[in-house]
Amino acid sequence: MAKFHLTKIIPLANSDYNSTVYGDITIKGVRKTITFPANVYITQFTVVIESAKFSLNRRDFKVFYQSSLKDYFIKNEMDIQFKLSTEKLDNENRTPVKKKK
């Protein structure tokens, strides 16, 4: 299982991506602080983050393979890319806020 805790979003100008995202990723109990470029869109009701493809070293997270060929055919870099979106919640009722029409 992996977890990502977003800590900061810094806007970028003149780039293929509009932001740099900072956060802590935990994989197999190992936590590392990472940054990556992403397009971030924030509205009154949602946040959408579309990351660029970025790599993490599997060995940093104790991801090893039992095969005798493990380090000859399996790259150390794990490529990651994701898209996530959120909805604003009504904190009192823990339900999505209705968009006004």
Please check the confidence at residue 51 and state whether its pLDDT lies above 70.
Answer: yes
Residue pair 4/24 in contact by the 8 Å Cβ criterion = yes
* Tens-place pLDDT, residues 90-101: 666 666 666 555
Q: Would you state the pLDDT for residue 91?
A: 64
24 forms bridges with which residues in the sheet? 5, 33
How far, rounded to the nearest angstrom, does the alpha carbon of residue 13 sit from its chain's CA centroid? 21
* Tens-place pLDDT, residues 23-45: 999 998 999 999 999 999 988 88
Q: Would you state the pLDDT for residue 69?
A: 62
Q: Would you state the pLDDT for residue 43?
A: 85
- What are the DSSP calls for 25-69, one per residue? EEETTEEEEEEEEEEEEE-SSEEEEEEPPEEEEGGGGT----STT
Residue pair 37/20 in contact by the 8 Å Cβ criterion = yes
